[in-house]
Structure 1
Amino acid sequence: MLSVVWIRHTTLENRLDVSEFLAAELAGRIAGSQQGSEGRTSAAYLDQDMLDARDELMKMESPPSIFITDAGGTILSEGEQDLYEENAFPSSVLEKNSDVQTFSGLKNDMLVYLIKKPIVVDDVTFGWVVMLQPEDEFADLNDEYRLLALLIIGSGLLGWAAIYILSRRLSRPISAAAAAAKEIRNGNYGVSLIPSKAKEQEVYDLVTSFNDMAVRLEQLEAIRAELLAGVTHELKTPVTSISGLLQAVKDDVVTGDEAKEFIRISLSETERMQTMINDLLEFNTFAANALPVSTAPHELNELTKRIVHEWNLARNPEGIPVHFQAYLHDLLVLMDPDRFRQIMMNLLNNAAHAIEEKGQMTITVRNEDPCALVDVSDTGIGIPDSEQTLIFERFYRGENKKYKVRGLGLGLPFSQLLARAMGGDLELKETSPLGTTFTLKMKKQNRPPK
């Protein structure tokens, strides 16, 4: 609509300007002919070639009505059209300052544009050139409107084609993702989308993320199934042992010292089963944010050295060499010492389980702003590539550890939760067949409290 208004306004202004210019040109020619004939008005004429050029320039179908009058407005000559039937134009119209005006002095009250220019010879006005053109014809813009309509229709078709092509390219991978999501909802986690067909970056990210999610869900489903079997087995085995041992004591199958040994083994199995249940309950409690963690500044070198010494005395029956490397300066970190002890004990136990024959462990305290780091390294068998992304999943147990060490697979996930609750983190730094290193990050206390 703005384009229509703008085209109408500019075209009308241009046509009026051209008509005014041609009227002035015609008046100038008539004035020149008047001078050559010593003022005889019979020499006044209309230049048809000029009128044709004017019509061609303004692209108008019907020519204007052109009149030549004397100084008083009496019509001396007129064109072929009979638009104005009076013998003279009102003097009030000719005396107006504006050369372009609207005029309604016709019998049918038609509104026309009137363009007038004086015929001047030696500064004396001998007459007027008057042009009349109906307003509806003057503002006839059919060609311009057709061009505008073609542009709008062409732009619309081009935009529709672009939107259609783009929507097709976007809808196909989205439809495929929706169909794959239905398969996952039905329990089929083996679906996969082809990322090479997605050329748009956003669609490519969607497809690759969906594939990663499907793989992740498949892994978690396998872990869940293994969890049920593992937890059931881990809890059923001590119950079966306890039941058999106590039944033997009850039926007097064993007596005396042998019966006491059976009871001692039953109590040991009961304690181990209680430990697993406590671990499970504590993990669930902490995962639900119901287990408080309070942090305060502690010196990392001294606390780590004390925990390593405690583990070496109480939980290192095989005498694995443990090397402790403290940082050159004191490091104050924000931590809960009890939770830090839990993390370190679990990392040390895991390192000892990874060492099959002769080996050693190294605990290193480092400073790497803005964190303080504790590296727990061993010379064990390492972690396979297929298991490295799963070791922090709850209840996951690696193949090498599954049959060697009994447990629920909560040690590393619980330790990571504790580290993050204290503002730090626990990461697998590196692993190979020559050994493994876990890094515990702790938040430093830059200024000691006053």
Structure 2
Amino acid sequence: MYFLKHLGQKKKNHPTKRVSLLKYWTTRYLVTLFIGLIVIGFLTGIIIRQSTLNKNLDINKYLAEEVAARILDQMVGTDIQTEQNPEVFANRKKLLEVSGNPSIYVVDVNGKIVIENRSSNHLNVSSFSTALLNSKDEVKQLNNIGGRDYYLVKRPMIVNDTVISWIVVMQSEDELTAVDQEYKLLLIMILSLALLGWVAIYFLSKRLVKPIENVAEAAKQVQKGNYTIELIEEVNEQEVYDLVHSFKEMAIKLEQLEAMRAELLAGVTHELKTPVTSISGLLQAVNDGVVTGEEAKEFLAISLQETTRMQKMVGDLLEFNSFTANAIPVNRESVKIGEVINEMIYQWDIVQDDQLVKVTVQQPKEDMVVSADPLRLQQIMINLLNNSKHAIQGEGTIEVRIYKYDEDHVAIDVQDSGSGIPLAEQDLIFERFYRGEDKKYKIRGLGLGLPFSRMLANAMDGDLVLTNSSEEGTTFTIVLKSLILRNED
């Protein structure tokens, strides 16, 4: 325990060192680029070395062939004019642009060197084995001779189908693979590519990081409670644009929620203060004997009514909070939707103070079965019916339609003939504590009815949506999961 505590304190005292995104990407890209270019350079160097070796060996083959042909042209009888051969060797090497300084030998059939043009830094060879000369390999690699590796190229000199001697070209591997100039060009190219790549990634990363830094700075402003932020939205990268746009929308949403929170606090205070003030005044009048008899009873009845309204508001708030904390269970069962909807409408209708609003129901002849909690479904229906009545404000109609939504769902439309919901408010009606401009001054409440109803519908694997709203009325739709009704025996 002491060790873990000490380790936790150590981490707290030494926080993780963070680097900027620009530095992070540019340094890692540069390291990756250098490693990649080094690997590519190494492989390219091997290929260049092998290609140079093969090219120089081919040149040595041509050199041997040319020397053999030139000597044969100058031959008189069977004797070789040795005094002219050094010039022949030099001319052939110059013509073929041989790399380095190979040693050229004229060897008889027994392996004895007749003429040689040996480089000063090469081995002093007196003869070659007949096995080496008669081998099928035109090119032979000789390893670790005097501490160096050599390549030997041989070409026979044939007169009347008889080999009379051999031309042997011998050169060290170091000379055959000498490509210093190519390696320098390769190194310059790799360094140029590395520099170009680093510059490119630096400016591209800087361009990418700038809007992200802008969003990070805006987040700090939002943290301080300043929701009026300016973000760079002119970006070509789709992901960065989505980030900037989503953050800006979030800031606007937070500003709206903050305004709603402040309005809610004022609204809840007002909604609770008004009945408390009324109850206090009414009871004070009764207590002081200002009113007596029937008038005192009326004051008490009004006080009870205000108390009931206050209890309902507090109850709605507590119930909403309990449901959001998953403290209220939803017990789904098979429900004949037409039967329960008619019963709910009947119960709602008989408790209304007036009969100015007429409710009608349209449903299929054969009742449908859904998976729902009857109690929670009744809460949704009562809330929608109350909202419809408030929207009508006098005489009007509420039409309830039950129909098959799709293969797996049943829909319930609640349509009223009220004045409709303003277009600017339609996207906000399901927000918690939101109340429309017309409603907040006429009807008491906390703005939890529709959000709570949608939560109840979602808890039953269904949904509640605003289908349509205009000056001619508003339609809300409840969607519930349908079940197959089995025939009873």
Residues 288-299 of structure 1 correspond to what in structure 2 (within 5 A)? 288-299=325-336
Give the aligned residue type for 1:101.
Answer: K
One of 140, 155, 159 as aligned partner of 1:101: 140
Are 1:164 and 2:213 an aligned pair?
A: no
Q: Distance in 2 between matches of 1:350 and 1:104?
A: 100
Match of 1:11 in 2: 52
Give, in whole Å, the separation in 1 of the partners of 2:341 and 2:68: 110
TM-score, with normalisation over the residues of structure 2? 0.84
Residue 341 and residue 190 in structure 1: after superposition, are their counterparts in 2 closer, same or farther (change >3 A)?
same
State whether residues 297 and 448 of structure 1, in contact with CA within 8 Å, keep that contact through their aligned partners in structure 2: no
Could you tell me how far 1:295 is from its partner in structure 2? 0.9
1:245 match: 282
In structure 1, C-alpha distance between the alignment counterparts of 2:401 and 2:444, rounded to whole Å: 28
Q: Give the alignment of 1:299-314 within 5 angstroms.
A: 299-314=336-351
Secondary structure of the corresponding residue to residue 189 of structure 1? coil
How far apart are 1:96 and its partner, in Å? 4.3
Aligned residue runs from structure 1 range 36-435, under 5 A: 37-42=76-81, 45=85, 46=88, 48-55=90-97, 60=99, 62-79=100-117, 81-82=119-120, 83-91=122-130, 93-103=132-142, 109-195=147-233, 197-315=234-352, 317-369=354-406, 370-435=408-473
| Distance in structure 1 (CA, Å) of the matches to 2:48 and 2:354 | 97
Using the size of structure 1 for normalisation, the TM-score is 0.91
| Cα 1:105/1:294, change in 2 over 3 Å | closer
Shift of 1:49: 4.7
Tell me if structure 1 keeps the 8 A contact 2:89–2:117: no
AA of the residue aligned to 1:52: K
SS of 2:356's equivalent in the other structure is coil
Deviation at 1:413, TM superposition (A): 0.7
Q: CA deviation at 1:449?
A: 8.5
Gaps of 5+ in 2: 1-41
| 1:192 shift after superposition | 3.3
1:404 aligned partner, one-letter code? K
CA distance in 2, matches of 1:105, 1:355: 107
**SS of residue matched to 1:321:** strand
RMSD after superposition: 2.3
Measured after TM superposition, the shift of residue 157 of structure 1 is 2.7
Map Cα deviations across residues 361-414 of structure 1 (whole Å, 9 max, x no partner).
211112121321111111212112222221111111111111111011111011
> Structure 1: which amino acid aligns with 2:415?
S
Is the CA contact (8 Å cut-off) linking 1:395 and 1:410 kept in structure 2? yes
Out of 151-160 and 248-257, give the one that drifted further: 151-160
Instruction: Judge which range, 150-159 or 348-357, deviates more.
Output: 150-159
8 Å CA contact retained: 2:214, 2:232: no
Match of 2:63 in 1: 22
Distance (Å, rounded) in 1 between the aligned partners of 2:486 and 2:232: 56
Q: Deviations over 1:332-379 (max 9, x none)?
A: 111001110110110010011011344322111121213211111112
The structure-2 alpha-carbon separation of the partners of 1:385 and 1:257, relative to structure 1 and needing over 3 Å to count, comes to same
CA, structure 1 residues 448+223, in 2 after alignment: closer, same or farther (shift >3 Å)? farther
Deviations 1:171-202 (A, max 9, x none): 1100110111110000001113232x211101
1:104 shift after superposition: 6.8
* Residues 188 and 105 of structure 1, relative CA distance in 2, 3 Å threshold: closer
Secondary structure of 1:444 counterpart = strand
Superposition deviation, residue 427 in structure 1: 0.8
